[in-house]
Amino acid sequence: MLDVLIRGGEVVDGTGAPRRRADVGIAAGKVVAVGKVDDEARKVIDATGKLVTPGFIDLHTHYDAQAFWDTSLSPSPLHGVTTVMAGNCGFTIAPLTPQDGDYLMRMLARVEGMPLESLQEGVPWNWSTTGEFLDAIDGKLMPNAGFLVGHSALRRVVMHDDATRREATPEEIDAMCELLRQGLRAGGMGFSSTWSTSHNDHTGVPVPSRHGSREELIALCSVVAEFPGTTLEFIPAVGRFERETFELMADMSAAANRPLNWNLLQVYAQNWDFVQHQLEGYDIAKERGGKVLALTLPDTFRTRLNLRSGFILDILNGWDELMALPPEEKLAMLRDPKGRREMNDKAQSTVGPTRSIGNWAAYMLLETFSEQWKPYEGRLIGDIAKELGKEPWDALADIVIDDNLNTVITVPDKGQGDDTWAKRVEVWRDDRAIVGASDAGAHLDMIDSFSFSTTLLARAVRERNLMSFEEAVTHLTDRPARLYGLRHRGRLQEGYFADVVVLDPDTVAPGEVYMKFDLPGGAGRVYGEAVGIEHVIVNGVHAVEHGELLDARPGTLIRSGRDTDTVTAR
């Protein structure tokens, strides 16, 4: 007898092949039949008029901490995601020492937007090795999950406070390499790091990995080459990459003989020259014996910014230290005319493409918590300032003071035009890019890109007909599975693990976004369900039914080598 029989649907198997009417039989966690199935089953799902697809794969999440307080890793499964990869950007919570846990906790709160009270109350912080961390969550999660080993954690454990003060000695690099070996031997999925100028810790200084030398990065990547089924992830910079950036990623990939994906390529019709320049990293890497792919988000990376956390704003000149100040000191500076002027002077002294971050007039007032300013919600700061006879910075500062730093501003979304969506599809079809970059589990007060999968299906396929469901599903399933070497996942075929989505092709879409206050300590997060994702099955077990998360936790803790095949760069 089958465990589950999905009857009467149109199977889109993930390979790009045309859909076909077929039943899907599931037993013992695997797909055992695709076609006409007459066997009896303990549970039968009527999929008439629906698409039956492999579960979606999200290569870039930060669910490392959330895994302890929300084992469903929501809202990802609601959007059809059955496999996630975490531990990205070098920001992992293992390995760990007692004296470094507080630093890692506060760094995560600052750089990845995880509420400190949630990290303090919701995470036990009682392991030392990557293996112990993986064991602590093994068998407890709803989706399948793999975890990279992060550079900042390695550096902090070896160098402690010096991790953010200087380059490492050869002996310290050797110690980091040995810690990485231990993590990969335990099943870590690979190595991740960041050199992004947007990544500063709670003291306002660059996170540990940004102090690592080129030689340190290459040494750590060389360790990855020793272990089967591993990979690399890196954030090299903000903005247009220089030749040396491309060459660094190429050499990292070549040293590991593994593909490297970098985060994040945003695509608009109006930045097409920039997009083509960034994709050249693949070509340069190929010349140097590596393979480098751009991880691209299939939507606008919408950001809700505020001066309380200061994330992204801290890229402005001198604002890394300003945004690390306690809230009361920020408010004091804003209230003081001299301090306020100094803040803006620093912002306007920023050079290069990131200077636009300080263009206060271009931001929209998305949310205010003061009745005085409620009528201005949805308007540009520049227009508000003009009406009030003020400079844009002064208008914004006044609102922020009244909101006790909680004012939410955003750049109006200019990425929803048909021409931009057509360009995005063109990038997805380019072998030099891979779809992903949801950042789910991070920046909880700021982003809604956890819905990347349903957004892709709704905007590019259902609404604009820029590609077929067959092609779109491949970008969400088989391509990421093959890049990471996920064994028997990413396709709906006999013998593969039964990670399955049943969706309505006429309605599939991201749902409304709202704040949900369900984190430890009572903190809130940006949240959103999906429309048209009717059933999600993980390893043959029902996980989501008609938009509701069920109690089952059937996810596999994916360990490199055991659950993955080796994908080489050469």
Q: What is the pLDDT of residues 217-248, one digit of tens each?
A: 999 999 999 999 999 999 999 899 999 999 99
Q: Which residue has the tokens 């970059």?
A: 437
pLDDT of residue 215: 98
pLDDT of residue 514: 83
| Cα–Cα nearest to 544, from 145, 78, 84 | 78
d(C-alpha 353, C-alpha 119), whole Å = 34
What is the rounded radius of gyration, in angstroms, for the C-alpha atoms of the chain? 23
pLDDT of residue 492: 98
Residue 261: its H or E element? strand 260-265
| Beta carbons of 176 and 154 less than 8 angstroms apart | yes
| Cα–Cα nearest to 13, from 24, 5, 3 | 24
Task: State the DSSP code for 377.
Answer: T
pLDDT of residue 309: 85
pLDDT of residue 324: 87
Written as one string, the DSSP assignment of 170-217 is HHHHHHHHHHHHHHHHTT--EEEEE--TT-B-TTSSB-GGGG--HHHH
CA angle centred on 302, ends 200 and 511, rounded to 5°: 130
pTM reported for the whole predicted model: 0.92
d(C-alpha 477, C-alpha 56), whole Å = 5
Q: How many Cβ atoms are within 10 Å of 237's Cβ, its own excluded?
A: 18
What do you get for the CA distance between the two ends of the chain, in Å? 45
pLDDT of residue 255: 98
pLDDT of residue 104: 95
Amino acid at 193: S
| Beta carbons of 395 and 404 less than 8 angstroms apart | no
List 35's β-bridge partners, or say none: 23
| Cα–Cα nearest to 224, from 277, 278, 185 | 185
pLDDT averaged over the chain? 96
| 175 pLDDT more than 90 | yes
| 77 pLDDT more than 90 | yes
pLDDT of residue 201: 93
| Cα–Cα nearest to 152, from 115, 122, 110 | 110
| Helical pair 337-348 and 392-402, crossing angle rounded to 10 deg | 120
pLDDT of residue 419: 98
| 49 pLDDT more than 90 | yes
d(C-alpha 91, C-alpha 444), whole Å = 15
